[in-house]
Structure 1
Amino acid sequence: MKKISILIVLCIMAVSMSLAQQTRYMVFEFIKVETNQTYDFIEFKDFMEKVYQAAVNDKKIQGWDFWSLQSGADPSEFQYITITYYRDPVTMMNGLQEDDMVRYAMIAYPHLTEKQVVEKFNNAIESRDLAQRIYMQEIAKTQDNFKLIKGTLASFDLMKAVEGQFDIYEKAEKEVFQPIHQRRIEKGLMGSWSLLRTALPFGSEAKLTHLTMNIYKDYVQFFNAQEYEDMESTAEQRAAQEKGLKSRDQKFIYLATLENAIR
């Protein structure tokens, strides 16, 4: 009996560790580029793709995405969104330090000296403005095997849970809306969906508390999904949807196209 109890405990620990390893931590950066600096910024972005690939190969990060904004924000605010994926919150908060970036750049471009790399980074600072950075933890995700490729479309929905209804909102997303998204995926109307929560403490004046990523393979799938009506839902489920909608304020919706995904 004692051996069975030990085995049960070990199994629970193994499952817990597996779930912890599956949790994704992400840093979103909203980047503003002046029109006359666009060419220099894109050139630097191409340079950085190999740098981030070196960081992935070294297991410093799990991935990096570069998205081009299509709609949802004034172009004077920002035009690009990057997402850097980390394995745990500590690594995420430490981020990629300047020394790391220089080291990976020299691995990606062995013909460059340290001085040349530093100069390139310093010049790049002048071509962009980091409008906002947010730290997120993924807390729910649909079951799918969708792979991000160039041209993938995403709707980033920034939410703020109503004060005092934080748990109600998350419960609604997981128990009401996630099954709807799952049915869309099974019908070929969506690629993937995930719910993220801010990973840092926030006060009542925080601009957002959550973010949902709605992923589509292209515009055809996106517009078909907008026209889809969930006829399978019951009156009780529709009431739960309405209650869930009232538990959060949908602050912004940003539609973006994937330019590259480093894995």
Structure 2
Amino acid sequence: MKKLSIFLFMGIMAISMAKAQEPTYLVFEFIKVESNQTYDFIEFKDFMEKIYMAAVNDKKIKGWDFWALQSGADPTEFQYITITYFDNPVNMMTGLQDEDMVKYAMVAYPHLTEKQVVEKFNAAISSRDLAQRAYMQEIARTRDSFHLKKGSLASFDMMKAVEGKFQEYEKAEKEVFLKIHQNRIEKGLMGSWSLLRTALPFGSEAKYTHLTMNMYKDYLQFFNAQEYEDMESTAEQRAAAEKGIQAREQKYIYLATLENAVR
């Protein structure tokens, strides 16, 4: 009986670890909204939250976030970032089709007719402009128990690996910077960190090849992290970090606060 219990426990642990290591695929949408249409768009965003929840419950997607940009871009370029999470690259590329959105809207709002749902979607399309879209795969992340909630803060750092140093850059992120961020998390200076690799667009003309997501529970944690200096690092570790920095260009940094999160 004791051996059986041990085998069962080990089996459960193996399943849990396998799930934890499952890759996540993300679609970022950078959205521009004209000032005279902000209210209509925010109202539509709240309407969409329940629709994405229906999609999560149906296992069509893993989650959806809505972020309001605080700094890092010209306000005329875009003001909002949405992230949709998928469990495989095929679902990421096909995304939620129009018929999917209508189906989940009917589930979330059974009192609405299909015609009313379509009218809402058409009105929303006219109130926003999709400035850009990026397809990405998570390739490394910290060990943490951070849970997003309204008001959470994120720094989205867009990186471009120097030509010929793609593998060198990724190695530095995984072997050097991940440990640095893990140390900050354990000191209570950060919520979570992950490294994403761009799936599309790609090639030498791509504006960026990677993105790091730095999550904080609030502004206090964020500013404390900025002031923190790691006095425990060795000269070898600092040299490795510097080598990693030389292998990439930091193209853009966007600071945003979370307004909605569906899981």
Please classify the TM superposition score into its range, dividing by the shorter chain length: over 0.9
Q: 1:234 maps to which residue? A: 234
Q: 2:139 maps to which residue? A: 139
Q: 2:125 maps to which residue? A: 125
CA deviation after TM superposition for structure 1 residue 200, in Å: 3.2
Deviates more, 1:18-27 or 1:185-194: 18-27
Q: 1:22 maps to which residue? A: 22
Q: 1:84 maps to which residue? A: 84
Deviations 1:73-101 (A, max 9, x none): 00000000000000100011110000000
Letter paired with 2:80: Y
Asked if the contact 2:134/2:201 (under 8 Å) is kept, the reply is: no
Aligned mates of 1:250, 1:21 — CA distance in 2: 27
Give the SS at the match of 1:67.
Answer: strand
Q: 1:163 maps to which residue? A: 163
Q: 2:7 maps to which residue? A: none
Query: Residue 42 in 1 paired to residue 18 in 2?
Result: no
Q: 2:185 maps to which residue? A: 185
Asked if the contact 1:24/1:86 (under 8 Å) is kept, the reply is: yes
Asked if the contact 1:69/1:79 (under 8 Å) is kept, the reply is: yes
- Stretches of structure 2 that go unaligned for 5 or more consecutive residues are 1-10
Aligned mates of 1:97, 1:239 — CA distance in 2: 48
Give the SS at the match of 2:127.
Answer: coil
Deviations 1:162-185 (A, max 9, x none): 011000000000111110000000
Q: 2:175 maps to which residue? A: 175
CA deviation after TM superposition for structure 1 residue 254, in Å: 0.2
Aligned mates of 2:83, 2:200 — CA distance in 1: 17
Asked if the contact 1:21/1:87 (under 8 Å) is kept, the reply is: no
Letter paired with 1:243: K
Give the number of aligned pairs: 250
Letter paired with 2:150: K
CA RMSD of aligned residues (A): 1.5
Asked if the contact 2:135/2:201 (under 8 Å) is kept, the reply is: no
TM-score, with normalisation over the residues of structure 1?
0.92
